[in-house]
């Protein structure tokens, strides 16, 4: 979050799982301790879910702020009126709703409607509370066909949320298991010489006249 008031202030919210109340408490404590001169306070409207910022002087929230969805920003520069600013959108501390598993080196045979790409291998919904264990098993045994003509010794796996933000597990251990089936199209070597056909399927020669 970036604010201009007596100068440009950049605030990095400590990594953690917040709800709206704990986030408001953190912000108020941070400004009271770090920037007491501007008397910046945050309050939450329980009916609208929107945050109101107040100070003892005018201020602006800049477009360089990255916590847009969390605080309810718009992505545009927001300027206070009479030293107060009601953020335009409800704050959202729910975090990612989906884990998208992407394979940038490959393309699937189907178009992912939600993410609008052909790189998403699987979408895993997050339906557990904060600090809960996310467990997913492919119980329907569905398969994703990946088209490629390359031989790969390694596979890049990219994990993003539904907004294509790369996920940061913040040091938490995670594991995934994949079953890979490799199918190759058989291309026999056929040589034609007059009426003689030579067919070599697997180093065994069959001649037919």
Average pLDDT, the chain: 78
pLDDT digits 0-9 by tens, 77-128? 889 999 999 999 999 888 788 888 887 777 665 555 555 667 787 888 888 8
Q: What percent of the chain has pLDDT over 70?
A: 72
Q: Is the pLDDT of residue 208 over 70?
A: no
Average pLDDT score over residue span 44-51: 92
Q: Is the pLDDT of residue 56 over 70?
A: yes
Average pLDDT score over residue span 51-65: 89
Tell me how far apart the alpha carbons of residues 166 and 160 are, in angstroms, rounded to a whole number. 4
pLDDT class of 145 with cuts at 50, 70, 90? low
Q: Which two tokens stand for residue 21?
A: 């109340």
Q: Is the pLDDT of residue 42 over 90?
A: yes
- Residue 207 has a pLDDT of 47
DSSP single-letter state for residue 138: -
- Residue 148 has a pLDDT of 60
Q: Is the pLDDT of residue 6 over 70?
A: no
Is residue 186 within 8 A of residue 122, CB to CB? The reply is no
Query: Which of 8-12, 25-29, 46-50 is the least confident region?
Result: 8-12
- Residue 144 has a pLDDT of 66
Q: Is the pLDDT of residue 187 over 50?
A: yes
Say if strands 8-10 and 2-4 run parallel, antiparallel, or are unpaired.
antiparallel
Q: Judge residue 96's burial from the number of C-beta atoms within 10 Å of its C-beta, 0-12 exposed, 13-18 middle, 19 or more buried.
A: middle
pTM given for the model: 0.60
């Amino acid at each position: 979050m970036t604010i201009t008031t007596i100068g440009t202030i950049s605030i990095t919210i400590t990594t953690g799982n917040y709800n709206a109340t704990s986030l408001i408490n953190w912000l108020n404590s941070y400004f009271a301790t770090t920037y007491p001169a501007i008397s910046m306070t945050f309050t939450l409207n329980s009916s609208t879910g929107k945050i109101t910022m107040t100070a003892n002087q005018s201020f602006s929230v800049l477009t360089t702020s990255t916590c847009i969805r969390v605080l309810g920003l718009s992505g545009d520069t927001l300027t206070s009126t009479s030293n107060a600013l009601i953020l335009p959108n409800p704050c959202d501390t729910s975090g990612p709703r989906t884990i998208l598993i992407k394979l940038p080196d490959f393309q699937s045979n189907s178009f992912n409607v939600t993410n609008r790409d052909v790189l998403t291998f699987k979408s895993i919904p997050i339906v557990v509370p904060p600090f809960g264990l996310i467990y997913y098993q492919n119980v329907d045994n569905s398969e994703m066909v990946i088209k490629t003509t390359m031989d790969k010794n390694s596979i890049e796996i990219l994990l993003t949320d539904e907004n294509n933000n790369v996920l940061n597990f913040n040091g938490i251990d995670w594991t995934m298991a994949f079953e890979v089936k490799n199918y190759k199209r058989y291309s026999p070597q056929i040589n034609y010489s007059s009426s003689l056909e030579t067919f070599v399927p697997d180093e065994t020669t069959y001649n037919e006249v």
